[in-house]
Structure 1
């Protein structure tokens, strides 16, 4: 009986010490209930028609299917884009769809 009393007394002291530090509250709050930021309401202005309105601008800049954007990505961002473009144009001269149509 004395051992059980000692264990209960120790757990009571331990739980009060932990409660003072906020460890139990933090464990429950962050692991069970989730971070407090998750429970805040957010308001976002959303216009579902903005994609339709900006489609023309995107197509002018990037091409209808984004082919210009893909080409720009392939040229790199290190300032050697013109040299790479010339190399690619020389490489692709005489090729159509990956097939060399100038050779028999």
Structure 2
């Protein structure tokens, strides 16, 4: 088993040393780059346009559209997107009629 590992490592070293072109990198160079140094893309500088006050504006829009605590969003997700939302809403309203928040806890 040790002999196979040794032969495999020697083969990788020979392959890496024999390649004259820089593309693609050899397995050892690739291993070192991915595990220790990182790809060059990782080291690039990036700039982000950031507005810290946008969250207040978007929160207001979200509450208007989806309700406080996302009540309407959860209801819309439960209705589906296949065009039969009105049917499902009617069935849900019929099912929940007389219930307190959809629960039977206070009903005899």
TM-score under structure 2 length normalisation: 0.71
Flag as ranges the 4+ runs of structure 1 deviating above 4 A.
18-21
TM-score under structure 1 length normalisation: 0.73
Report the count of equivalent residues. Answer: 93
Given that 1:19 and 1:25 are in contact with CA atoms closer than 8 Å, whether structure 2 keeps it comes out as: no
Partner SS, residue 99 of structure 1:
coil
Map 1:8-87 to 2 at 5 A. 14=14, 16-18=17-19, 20=21, 22-23=25-26, 24-87=28-91
What is the root-mean-square deviation of aligned Cα atoms in Å? 2.6
Q: Which stretches in structure 1 are left out of the alignment for 5+ residues?
A: 1-9
Higher relative contact order, chain-length normalized (CA < 8 Å, sep 6+): 2
Quick check: which has more Rg, 1 or 2?
Answer: 1
